[in-house]
Structure formats: C-alpha cells, structure tokens
Amino acid sequence: MKVILFHNTLPAYRIPFYNALAKLVELKIVLFNLESTEAIYGEKSKPALLKGCRQVIIDKSKDVRKQVKDEISEGADIVHLPTPDGKYELYVTNLCLHFARKKGIKTALYWIRWTPDLSQIPVKQIGKNVIRNILAGGIARKADVCIYSGVKSREQFKRLRVRDDHLMPMHYSTDVYQDAEDCDIYEKYGIRDGLKLILYFGRVIERKGLLYLIRAYEMLNEAEVQLVVAGSGTEYFEECKKYVEENHVRNVLFLGLVPSVERKNFFENADLFVLPSVLDHGITEPWGQTVNESFQCGCRVVASDAVGAAYELIRPENGAMYPAEDVQALADIMKGLLRTDYDRDKIKSTISEYTCENMAEDMLRAYDMALLETDGAL
C-alpha cells in the first residue's frame, strides 16, 4: 500500500510512530510547515531520524498549491490529510482533499482536536469556534475514513456529523524514550532529595495553566513537598516566576528547558505529574502526550478536564481528573494522592497497549477501511 502523509511539523515524539508505519506501508511524508516545529515544541525538527520513508519538504516561499498537486500526482493508494487546525493547515488540507479526489485516491483524516460545550466557550469566541467546526466538518465528511483517539475526539467527529461506520479508533502513542539518557536530576539540577516531588513538564504558556498549579501547590503548605517546573516560555513563564517570588512560595524550582533525552529521569523520580491545562478561547488540550510519558514511568497523573487523555487513561488507581481552573479541587486531590501508597508497575500497565507499533497497526486498519469505501463521501 502506497501512502502520502501530509503533516505541518515534525515533532520528535511522532518519529517512532512514522518509523513503525513505514514498516507496514510504502510511506512518503510531506512536511509543509517544518520551520514552525521549534516554535511550537521548543526543539528543532530531526527529519534525519525518519527511517524507511521518503521525505518531502514544501517550500512556502514558492507555489504551495503546485507543490501539493505535484506530490499527489505521483499517485498513491491513500492520501493522509493534514489536520485542519489553523488557517494555513486548513488551506493545505483542502488542497490535498481536492487533488486526491480528482485523481480518485482515497483519503484518511486523523484529528484529535475537540471543543467543549458552548457554555464553556467565551461569548466572543463562539462564532470563531462554530466557523472552525463548519469548515472542519466539511472536510471530515468528505474523507473516506476519520480516525480518532479517545472518547472526546470521537464525540467531536460525531458533532461534525460523521457516520459511525466511517470512524476508526487509534491508540494515541508516543515513545520519546528511545534515545533516553540516564541523569541524576538531583545533582545536576539542584533538586532536593528526600522531598516528595510534584512535576510540571512542558511548555509554560497560558493555556497549560501552570499558575493554577502553583496556587494549588501553595495551598498544600507542606514543607516535605517540592514543585519542579521543567519547561520554558516567555511572558507567562515570567508571570509564574513573579507570583512565586512575590508570594514567597517555597520549594518551587524553575529549571527552564530540559533536554528531551533527560525527560524520562524526571517522570521516574516524580510522585505526581500534573497537567493543569485550561480552556483557552474554547481550545482544549486535544490529548496531552505527557500523560502517556508519565504512565510509561509508573508516575501518577493529575490532569484537568480540558485534557483529552484524562478521559481515556486516568483511573482511581493511577491518578485523578479535576475541573479546569478549580484550584481548591486540585489542591485537595494532590494532598490526598501524596498521602497514598501506589504501585509503579501497576501504573505502567495503564499504557501497555499504547505503543507506536499498535498505533501503526490501527492506522493500517483505517487505511484498509478507506480503500473499501465506494462513494468517497461520508
């Protein structure tokens, strides 16, 4: 099976999946906004790590429409559409859909973005969210198969009026630990040994909700607990640091950007990982790959209800979910979990089926479904 997969960026956590997929199909990956990888994920793209597939990089300074057309004109069994998340991505997705249908090539759409109830969206943003859903829905209903990860993204496709028999589930998997390096985080980063460790790991931007976590941590008021923030940002990062300094919140350590090869060491040593994402103009955390990473290391997770993975993976024995922005609820949950024993091996079992190999097998099944589709429209 020959597949042309379009994607805007090349995040490091997706490379193991692409390599697994390339073992199952003849794969060509077309990257059309590669330069934005560092801005979004805080690290440069590494296309050299892709194995067993062709790579094409679209030059945005030239005719994008012609480049997309030329790549699809080479022929394929499946055109894997990019996710229609932004204006440029929406434009490229429509180009891919148009040229694929013109050549009679089946299309697949993997999209995990989901929106909350309208009551949770700021009034000024409702119109924008409705328009986004209308445009995305038009694409989804024309694709030959729509692939989702988790209950929230399935609900989104249903909201867009995609039929049940054109939906396929897929494990959301990531394996960023393939090149992991051992590191003594206590010695290298000055983390205090002997204290229980609450971890925040990721970009420090407003929609990630770090300030809510800091305020909840402050309410714990426990000398034997520390909060470690591994990640960087700009204005919001400084706002969080300022809050800690002005309110004399003790045992909070801001590490800045941590090399990806060292991230496993943090999750292995943490007692809790917290992902306090908030609704940002109606935008949720579609999944939250750090939830997977934490469970891979046997670390419990506390995540807000704005995180897609929370609905799929979190259970009483491995963590808890709480209402986004509810500082008191977050503080109460953390206090309770820090006083509760847990089994790291049992927590690891949460994620045992969420491998890149299983994700690739799921994707192959979805492609097979698309090839069986006769009318090409949902």
Q: What is the per-residue pLDDT across 228-256, written as a single tens digit (0 to 9) for each?
A: 999 988 899 999 999 999 999 999 999 99
| CA separation, residue 310 to residues 219, 231, 288, 290 (Å) | 23, 21, 8, 11
**Does residue 317 belong to any structural domain of this protein?**
yes
Give yes or no for a contact between 263 and 199, defined as CB atoms under 8 angstroms apart.
Answer: no
pLDDT at 284: 87
For residue 377, pLDDT beyond 50? no
Same domain, 289 and 337: yes
- Label residue 119 by pLDDT band (50, 70, 90): low
Same domain, 168 and 216: no
Domain that holds residue 309: 185-351
User: How far out from the chain centre does Cα 291 lie?
Assistant: 9
Domain count, the chain: 2
| CA separation, residue 92 to residues 64, 88, 134, 137, 369 (Å) | 8, 6, 17, 15, 24
Same domain, 119 and 215: no
Same domain, 227 and 101: no
**Does residue 377 belong to any structural domain of this protein?**
no
DSSP code per residue over 302-363: EEETTBHHHHHH--TTTEEEE-TT-HHHHHHHHHHHHTS---HHHHHGGGTT--HHHHHHHH
Count other Cβ atoms within 10 Å, centred on residue 28: 19
156, 161, 128, 115: which is closest to 142 by C-alpha?
A: 161
* Cα–Cα dist 280/121, whole Å: 9
First-to-last alpha carbon distance for the chain, in angstroms, is 23
pLDDT at 123: 65
**Does residue 72 belong to any structural domain of this protein?**
yes
Same domain, 228 and 125: no
* CATH classification at residue 93: 3.40.50.2000
* Cα–Cα dist 1/4, whole Å: 10
Same domain, 171 and 197: no
For residue 7, pLDDT beyond 70? yes
Tell me, what amino acid is at 244? V
For 344-364, how does the pLDDT look when each residue is reduced to its tens digit (9 = 90+)? 999 999 999 999 999 999 999
* Cα–Cα dist 262/160, whole Å: 40
3-class secondary structure, 252? strand
**Does residue 329 belong to any structural domain of this protein?**
yes
